Amino acid sequence: EVQLVESGGGLVQPGGSLRLSCAASRFTFSYYHMGWVRQAPGKGLEWVAVIGPDGSAKYYVDSVKGRFTISRDNAENSLFLQMNSLRAEDTAVYYCERDGGSADYWGQGTLVTVSS
C-alpha cells in the first residue's frame, strides 16, 4: 500500500522558516503530481501547493505565494515544502498527498505552530 510520511513540523516564531518533508514509498513517485494540503485547528481543508511529476510545474494558493516553495527529489522519493516568513495563520496540520488534483492517498500530517 502507498505510504506517505511527513516530518519537519514544529513550533516556530512569526517570521521564521520551516522545511517540511514527505517520504513516499510503494509507488513510482516520479510518475505522479504531488501536493500539500493544510488544516488549521478545528477548521476545514485548504490546498497549499501542487508540483508536477518532473518538478517543472508548480502551483500555489495565493496566500502562500512568494513565501512557500514546493519541490521534490525523484531520486529520493521525497516531497518538500519550504515555508518562509511564517505567520500565525499558517498554523495547521500539513498533509502530503498524492496525485495533485485528486488526492488519492494522504500522509498522517505534521503540525506546524507559528507563535511567539
Partner 1 sequence: DVVLTQSPLSLPVTLGQPASISCSSSQSLVYSDGSTHLHWFQQRPGQSPRRLIYKVSNWDSGVPDRFSGSGSGTDFTLKISRVEAEDVGVYYCMQGTHWPHTFGQGTKLEI
Range in contact with partner 1 (rule: CB under 8 A) among 19-27, 66-74, 82-90, 97-105: 97-105
Q: Which of 56, 75, 102, 116 binds partner 1 (CB under 8 A)?
A: 102
Site for partner 1 in 28-67 (CB under 8 A): 37, 44-47, 50, 59, 61-62
Report the C-alpha gap between 71 and 82 in whole angstroms. Answer: 8
Residue among 5, 14, 16 nearest 76 (CA): 5
Q: In whole angstroms, how close is the CB of 75 to partner 1 at the nearest point?
A: 26
